[in-house]
């Protein structure tokens, strides 16, 4: 790492509307060859700041220097020409194209100026992969690739374009623990190869592992920049949220009797491959007031389990009951209304929100046709919708820049997630299916959401918690089931729940 500056953002302000600054008088600089973390609460202005650097937004005020020279980065093409590349919070791929086609899209090597020179393109990508310790099947269609593979393809897109300054917006939020290890290693290699890396992340442990320095941003303004060997991750967290944090834990005072969810011997095929059995003679039950955690390596049947309960997929055989009523063949609508289910889905943008609706509308999404939000004639009661929406916004600290009327797409990722959680925990329900609730949330929001899940339990709701964050499962569950290849391989109750035992069961050594 040299002392030369790769990036200087000077006095940057960014306003999307009259009311709020997303960034205010920000001074942010990055040294050549360092890994620099940008951290802050959901909605603090991290993605906005780096989108300004990448030319997606023109700042309201301020200037940017790249390698010491002032530049007007009016769009991403200019950013690319300055060797700046960005991997966004949500990926962009042409699904029916192969990965090599996606990687080279718009920068293809041509044959006779007309056709893509597949051989040359693949050769170029292969050399880059070798230099950076990356392996990827380039002939896979994007729609068949895993999130981890798509991310590698995103990184290759940047390297293919010779980017020197690499911006990552929450790269590990959607990865499995194993993929995260791989990604952090790739980051180290990129750094060793001289790249400058800017990393947005909420995961303090990862930042501790890879970052040289970290800048904290709060409500659009810079709090400070710190050398990672001079600051603890607890200090950083306090600087981010402005208060001390505590770990929320289930006290296991559970005496519930009434069975709410019962799953009896279900067999379910894999979402990706109909020939594979994702769940095999799988059974579980959850009582009112109980949080049942599902632990296991991703891809061992968790998504299929969530799908058959929420109605997105059908079982091949077996039964699912809510309060003794078989719901296998019930519509998604009736599961939510008649059988009183709530659902915090894995993919917030696909299954949790309508991004072009405003926040108030999304806050009552499944219930908009029900009382009190609509009357018998189907006439919508805007007053009631606003009342509920504002209650969720206030309680769950959903940061929307326009009093509930902002288009949901404009919310920061974490705030979209808080909106879904607020909606689902505020609905009248007996059973809540929760899948990776704190993905993309800041450390303060995680603490709050965990306390709200415990509150829901205290209100006697039955909760199924599927998560790949083992600490989340351990802290919140009354009981934990460990699954492997679609089978239950272990169960732990109350004070017996601990890392070691779950870890061993997950690996199949119990
Ligand atoms: N296109 C947009 N239009 C209007 N407001 C926006 C837009 N993009 C972001 N904002 C607002 O700017 C603020 C900062 O958002 P930003 O996405 O930068 O936050 P973030 O720090 O990246 O948060 P997260 O950790 O949740 O991703 C938020 O209040 C957000 O609602
Ligand atoms: Mg963001």
The pLDDT tens digits for 251-262 are 988 877 899 999
Q: What is the pLDDT of residues 258-304, one digit of tens each?
A: 999 999 999 999 988 888 999 999 999 999 999 999 999 888 999 99
CA of 120 to the centre of ligand 2 (A): 36
Q: What is the pLDDT of residues 174-185, one digit of tens each?
A: 788 888 888 999
Say if ligand 1 is within 6 A of residue 16 CB: yes
Q: Looking at residue 369, what is its pLDDT?
A: 87
Say if ligand 1 is within 6 A of residue 195 CB: no
Kindly list the strands in the beta sheet with 479-484, ordered across the sheet, starting from the edge strand earlier in the chain.
Answer: 341-344, 431-435, 462-466, 291-295, 479-484, 487-493
CA of 82 to the centre of ligand 1 (A): 25
Q: Whose CA is nearest to atom 9 of ligand 1?
A: 410
Q: Whose CA is nearest to atom 29 of ligand 1?
A: 43
Q: Is the pLDDT of residue 3 over 70?
A: yes
Which of the listed residues 12, 203, 401 should we mutate to test ligand 1's pocket, taking the one with most ligand atoms within 8 A of CB? 401
Q: What is the pLDDT of residues 343-361, one digit of tens each?
A: 999 988 888 899 999 999 9
The mean pLDDT of 230-243, rounded to a whole number, is 93
Q: What is the pLDDT of residues 455-489, one digit of tens each?
A: 999 999 999 999 998 999 999 999 999 999 999 99
Least confident among 39-53, 110-124, 413-427: 110-124
Contact, 37 vs 208, CB < 8 A?
no
Say if ligand 1 is within 6 A of residue 505 CB: no
Q: Looking at residue 9, what is its pLDDT?
A: 98
Q: Looking at residue 273, what is its pLDDT?
A: 82
Q: Looking at residue 36, what is its pLDDT?
A: 98
Report the mean per-residue pLDDT for the chain: 93
Say if ligand 1 is within 6 A of residue 449 CB: no
Which of the listed residues 88, 412, 445 should we mutate to test ligand 1's pocket, taking the one with most ligand atoms within 8 A of CB? 412
Say if ligand 1 is within 6 A of residue 402 CB: no
Q: Looking at residue 159, what is its pLDDT?
A: 92
* Domains of the chain: residue spans and CATH: 5-241 (3.40.50.300), 258-340+430-440+462-510 (3.40.50.300), 348-427 (no CATH)
The mean pLDDT of 195-202, rounded to a whole number, is 96
The ligand 1 atom nearest the CA atom of 45: 18
Kindly list the strands in the beta sheet with 69-71, ordered across the sheet, starting from the edge strand earlier in the chain.
Answer: 21-31, 5-15, 61-66, 69-71
Say if ligand 1 is within 6 A of residue 444 CB: no
Q: Which of 310, 345, 344 is nearest to 327 (CA)?
A: 310
pLDDT band at residue 419, thresholds of 50, 70 and 90? very high
The mean pLDDT of 186-193, rounded to a whole number, is 93
Q: Is the pLDDT of residue 2 over 80?
A: no
Say if ligand 1 is within 6 A of residue 40 CB: yes
Which of the listed residues 12, 45, 86, 88 should we mutate to test ligand 1's pocket, taking the one with most ligand atoms within 8 A of CB? 45
CA of 75 to the centre of ligand 2 (A): 19
Q: What is the pLDDT of residues 359-378, one digit of tens each?
A: 999 999 988 888 899 998 88
Q: Looking at residue 88, what is its pLDDT?
A: 86
Chain position carrying tokens 């941003």: 217
Say if ligand 1 is within 6 A of residue 47 CB: yes
Say if ligand 1 is within 6 A of residue 439 CB: no
- Count other C-beta atoms under 10 Å from residue 455's C-beta: 11
Q: Looking at residue 1, what is its pLDDT?
A: 55
Q: What is the pLDDT of residues 484-506, one digit of tens each?
A: 999 999 999 999 999 999 988 88
Number of H helices, E strands in the chain: 16, 22
Q: Looking at residue 147, what is its pLDDT?
A: 84
The ligand 1 atom nearest the CA atom of 44: 21
328-361 exposure pattern, b = at least 16 Cβ within 10 A, e = fewer: eebeeeebbbebbbbbbbbebeebbbeeeebbbb
Q: Is the pLDDT of residue 510 over 70?
A: no
CA of 165 to the centre of ligand 1 (A): 22
Contact, 342 vs 433, CB < 8 A?
yes
Chain position carrying tokens 């601990």: 498
What are 326's strand-pairing partners? Answer: 321
């Amino acid at each position: 790492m040299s002392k030369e500056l790769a990036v200087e953002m000077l006095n940057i302000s960014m306003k999307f509307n009259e009311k709020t600054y997303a960034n205010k008088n920000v001074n942010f600089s990055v040294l050549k060859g360092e890994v620099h973390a940008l951290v802050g609460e959901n909605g603090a202005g991290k993605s906005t700041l780096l989108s300004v650097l990448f030319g997606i937004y023109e700042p309201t005020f301020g200037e940017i220097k790249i390698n010491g020279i002032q530049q007007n980065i009016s769009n991403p093409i200019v950013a690319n020409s300055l060797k700046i590349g960005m991997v966004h919070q949500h990926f962009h791929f042409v699904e029916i194209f192969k990965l090599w086609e996606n990687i080279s899209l718009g920068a293809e090597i041509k044959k006779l100026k007309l056709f893509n020179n597949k051989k040359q393109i693949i050769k170029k990508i292969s050399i880059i992969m070798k230099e950076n310790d990356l392996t990827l099947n380039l002939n896979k269609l994007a729609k068949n690739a895993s999130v981890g593979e798509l991310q590698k393809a995103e990184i290759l897109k940047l390297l293919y374009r010779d980017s020197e300054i690499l911006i990552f917006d929450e790269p590990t939020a959607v990865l499995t623990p194993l993929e995260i290890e791989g990604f952090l290693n790739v980051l180290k290699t990129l750094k060793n190869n001289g790249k400058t890396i800017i990393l947005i992340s909420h995961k303090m442990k990862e930042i501790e592992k890879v970052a040289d320095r970290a800048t904290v941003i709060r409500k659009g303004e810079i709090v400070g920049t710190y050398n990672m060997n001079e600051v603890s991750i607890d200090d950083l967290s306090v600087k981010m949220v402005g208060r001390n944090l505590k770990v929320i834990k289930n006290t296991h005072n559970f005496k519930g009797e009434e069975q709410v969810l019962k799953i009896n011997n279900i067999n379910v095929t894999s979402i990706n491959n109909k020939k594979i059995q994702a769940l095999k003679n799988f059974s579980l039950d959850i009582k009112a007031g109980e949080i049942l955690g599902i632990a296991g390596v991703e891809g061992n049947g968790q998504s299929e389990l969530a799908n058959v309960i929420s109605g997105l997929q059908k079982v091949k055989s077996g039964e699912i009951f809510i309060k003794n009523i078989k719901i296998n063949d019930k519509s998604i609508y009736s599961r939510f209304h008649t059988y009183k289910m709530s659902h915090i889905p894995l993919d917030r943008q696909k299954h949790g929100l309508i991004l072009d609706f405003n926040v108030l509308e999304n806050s009552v999404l499944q219930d908009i046709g029900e009382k009190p939000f609509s009357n018998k004639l189907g006439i919508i009661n805007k007053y009631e919708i606003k009342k509920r929406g504002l209650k969720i916004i206030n309680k769950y600290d959903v940061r929307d820049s326009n009093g509930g009327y902002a288009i949901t797409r404009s919310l920061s990722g974490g705030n979209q997630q808080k909106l879904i959680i607020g909606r689902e925990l505020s609905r009248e329900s007996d059973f809540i299916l929760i899948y990776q609730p704190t993905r993309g949330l800041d450390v303060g929001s995680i603490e709050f959401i965990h306390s709200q899940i415990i509150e829901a339990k205290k209100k006697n709701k039955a909760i199924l918690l599927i998560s790949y964050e083992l600490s989340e499962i351990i802290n919140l569950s009354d009981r934990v089931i460990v699954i492997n290849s679609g089978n239950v391989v272990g169960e732990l109750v109350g004070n017996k729940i601990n890392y070691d035992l779950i870890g061993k069961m997950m690996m199949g050594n119990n």
